[in-house]
């Protein structure tokens, strides 16, 4: 029941944060932080008191929800979901820390939205009744949309609508697939069922499996995002407030990867194996296209957003390689990209907070007055372009290793993407921190505060840890570990 308690607590604290705003203007952020600490402790408690090692997807909560369709309130955990929930909780703390001073108006509702989004995302990672999964999948979008639409930058309404339309329409495709599977269960067993474990027993013809798999694939490819469905991402990331970008890049994109693993590859192994060449090609195209587009941006948040498309392309390509190394590489990339892109968005937010522009052309010479900031930026940029010793390198290396065994051509092309990432990464760092400002005015900007330094330090240390000792992640035996 602890998982249920965690989600409920987050919602209760969310309401609390909203309602105390009237009396104490500073209280919401403190409440939000307390909520996250309590929830994280509960989560640790859940893990340590359990007897299982969570190597398989273990049911931990099971109750009836909607009788008429045999829908259950069923939650399960395995090492993959544990890993992703940990990442979520970590980045949630970062998101709150980064908004500590950035958000000054309507704080109550702001933290309400952040906590609700976290609750929804945790729900996505643990729900093993697929109807329940769908509910969480949809509900987590609302607070994120609100974050973009209310606290975002200039064209926030457009970005929010675009984000919502893309995700909503694609998830309706998934809903059709879900309904079809439940219906097939009714035909084969005599009763509706939305349970993942029941669906694994189903038998279907290859064509049906392909159709259903594509229904799921579209929803997750939009979220990942992969190339033909990516166009919501640059807008949403650019317009969102910093914490919103951190959550979007750090966690929300990972729900797409998670869905691909859980509902596409593991549920329809044969169909996805046939589909793999197309998916891998989409991945490679995303890598190259994302890198190329990132290079062409002058808005630094947009640049990081396109780089996300490029990095998540590695995940897509590696997952569909059906190779042990590639799969591990994908998992490491998921975590590493979560941390590094969150870090870059945090930095972009800090710079924006100081000079009120995201335009690279109007930045320059920041390193002179803010050396610490320049230092950590270099670390994160280096992580993003895959310097050995940092986490992303491990992920991309294993991905490429695995993919090369399956399709050398894909691996070869993807490697070009890594070169691309070095170019756009250096361009970002060089223009912002060392380039000369076009108007030649010397502005002095503040260096990192202690709070900001702490955020950067935590993220940098994590990247370094995974980079030096990847065994920390790789020791987990993932269910999908082929």
Partner 1 sequence: MSLNTWLLLTPQLLIALGVVCCLLLISWQRSQQLIAWFTLMVMLVTIVATVSLIGQTAVHITELIYVDSFSLVAFLWVLLAGFSAVYMSKAYLHSHLEVHDEFYLLLLLTVLGAGVLVASDHFASLFLGFELLSISLVGLTGYFRHQRHAIEVSFKYLILSASASSFMLLGIAFLYSQTGSLSFVQIQPENADNMIAQMGFLLFIAGIGFKLSLVPFHFWTPDVYQGSPTPVTFVLATISKSAMFIALAKCIYVEGFQTLVALPSIHHALSALAIISMIVGNCLALGQNNIKRILAFSSIAHMGYLMIVLLVHQQQSILLARQAVLFYLFAYLIANIAIFGMLVLIERDRNVGNNIELAHWKGMFWHSPYKAFVLIVAVLSLIGIPLTGGFIGKFYLMILAANNALWPLLIALIVGSGIALGYYLPMIFQLFKQDVVKISHITTWRTRLWLSVIFLLSIGVGILPDVIITPLLNF
Residues in contact with partner 1 by CB under 8 A are 65-69, 106, 134-135, 138-139, 142, 145-146, 149-150, 157, 160-161, 164-165, 168-169, 172-173, 175-176, 179-180, 182-183
List of residues 6+ apart from 220 with CB closer than 8 A: 174, 256, 257, 259, 260, 263, 264
State which residue, 66 or 405, has the beta carbon closest to partner 1: 66
Q: For partner 1, which is the closer residue by CB, 170 or 365?
A: 170
Give the pair of three-digit tokens for residue 439. 């108007």
Beta-carbon contacts of 321 under 8 Å, excluding residues fewer than 6 positions away, are 276, 280, 327, 399, 402, 403, 405, 406, 407, 410
| 3-class SS of residue 219 | helix
Give counts: helices (H), strands (E), the chain. Answer: 21, 2
Between residues 102 and 138, which has the closer beta carbon with respect to partner 1? Answer: 138
From the CB of 192, what's the least distance to partner 1, in Å?
9
CA dist 126 and 85 (Å) reads 9
Report in angstroms how near the CB of residue 18 gets to partner 1 at its nearest: 9
Q: How far apart are the first and last CA of the chain?
A: 30
Task: Tokens 């013809």: give the residue.
Answer: 205
Q: How far is the CB of 224 from partner 1 (least distance, A)?
A: 20
In whole angstroms, the minimum distance from the beta carbon of 41 to partner 1 comes to 28
Residue 280 CA to its chain's centroid (Å): 20
| Shortest reach from residue 87's CB to partner 1, in Å | 24
If the CB atoms of residues 4 and 180 are measured against partner 1, the closer one turns out to be: 180
Using the CB atoms, write b or e for 447-466: b if 16+ within 10 Å: bbeeebeebbebbbebbeeb
Q: Which is nearer to partner 1, 183 or 372 (CB)?
A: 183
In the complex, minimum distance from the CB of residue 83 to partner 1, in angstroms, rounded to a whole number: 26
Which residue lies nearer to partner 1 by CB, 157 or 482?
157
Q: Are 448 and 456 in contact (CB under 8 A)?
A: yes
Each residue of 147-165: b (16+ CB within 10 Å) or e? bbbbbbeeebeebbebbbe
Measured from the CB atom, the residue of 51 and 154 that comes closer to partner 1 is 154
Can you tell me whether residue 299 is helix, strand or coil? strand
Min. distance of Cβ 445 from partner 1 in angstroms? Answer: 29
Closer residue to partner 1 in complex, CB, 180/464: 180
Which strand (E) or helix (H) includes residue 375? Answer: helix 371-384
Q: Which are the contacts of 403, defined by CB distance < 8 A and separation ≥ 6?
A: 280, 317, 318, 321, 323, 326, 410, 411, 414
Tell the smallest beta-carbon distance from residue 147 to partner 1 (Å).
11
Cβ at position 184, least distance to partner 1 in Å: 10
User: Cβ closer to partner 1: 172 or 378?
Assistant: 172
Task: List the structure tokens of 413.
Answer: 């092309």
Phi-psi region at 440: left, alpha or beta (left = phi > 0; alpha = psi -120 to 50): left
């Amino acid at each position: 029941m602890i998982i249920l308690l965690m989600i409920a607590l987050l919602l209760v604290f969310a309401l609390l944060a909203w309602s105390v705003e009237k009396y104490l203007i500073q209280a919401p952020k403190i409440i939000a932080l307390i909520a996250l600490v309590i929830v994280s402790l509960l989560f640790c408690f859940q893990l340590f008191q359990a007897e299982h090692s969570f190597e398989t997807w273990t049911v931990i909560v099971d109750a009836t929800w909607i009788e008429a369709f045999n829908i259950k309130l069923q939650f399960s955990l395995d090492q993959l979901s544990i890993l992703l929930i940990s990442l979520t909780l970590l980045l949630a703390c970062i998101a709150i820390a980064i908004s500590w001073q950035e958000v000054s108006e309507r704080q109550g509702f702001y933290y309400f939205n952040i906590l609700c989004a976290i609750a929804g995302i945790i729900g996505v990672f643990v729900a093993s009744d697929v109807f329940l999964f769908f509910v969480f999948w949809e509900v987590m979008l609302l607070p994120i949309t609100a974050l973009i639409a209310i606290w975002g930058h200039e064209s926030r309404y457009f970005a929010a609508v675009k984000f919502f339309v893309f995700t909503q329409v694609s998830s309706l495709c998934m809903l059709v697939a879900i309904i079809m599977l439940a219906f097939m269960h009714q035909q084969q067993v005599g009763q509706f069922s939305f349970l993942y474990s029941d669906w694994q027993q189903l038998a279907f013809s290859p064509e049906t499996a392909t159709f259903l798999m594509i229904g799921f694939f579209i929803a997750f490819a939009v979220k990942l995002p992969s190339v033909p469905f990516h166009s919501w991402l640059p807008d949403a990331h650019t317009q969102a407030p910093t914490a919103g970008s951190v959550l979007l890049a750090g966690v929300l994109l990972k729900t797409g990867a998670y869905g691909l693993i859980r509902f596409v590859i593991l549920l329809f192994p044969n169909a996805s194996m046939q589909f793999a060449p197309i998916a891998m090609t989409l991945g490679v195209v995303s890598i190259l296209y994302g890198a190329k587009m990132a290079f062409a941006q002058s808005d630094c948040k947009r640049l990081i957003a396109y780089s996300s498309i490029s990095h998540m392309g590695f995940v897509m390509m590696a997952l569909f390689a059906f190779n042990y190394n590639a799969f591990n590489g994908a998992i490491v990339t998921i975590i590493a990209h979560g941390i590094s892109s969150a870090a870059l968005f945090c930095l972009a937010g800090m710079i924006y907070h100081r000079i009120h522009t995201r335009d690279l052309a109007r930045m320059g010479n920041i390193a002179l007055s803010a050396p610490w900031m320049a230092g950590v930026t270099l670390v994160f940029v280096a992580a993003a372009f895959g310097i050995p010793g940092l986490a992303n390198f491990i992920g991309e290396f294993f991905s490429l290793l695995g993919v090369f065994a399956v399709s050398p051509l894909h691996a070869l092309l993807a490697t070009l993407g890594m070169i691309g990432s070095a170019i756009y990464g250096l361009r970002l760092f060089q223009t912002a921190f060392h380039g000369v400002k076009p108007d030649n005015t010397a502005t002095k900007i503040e260096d990192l505060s202690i709070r900001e330094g702490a955020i950067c330090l935590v993220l940098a240390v994590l990247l370094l840890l995974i980079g030096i000792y990847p065994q920390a992640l790789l020791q987990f035996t993932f269910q999908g570990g082929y």
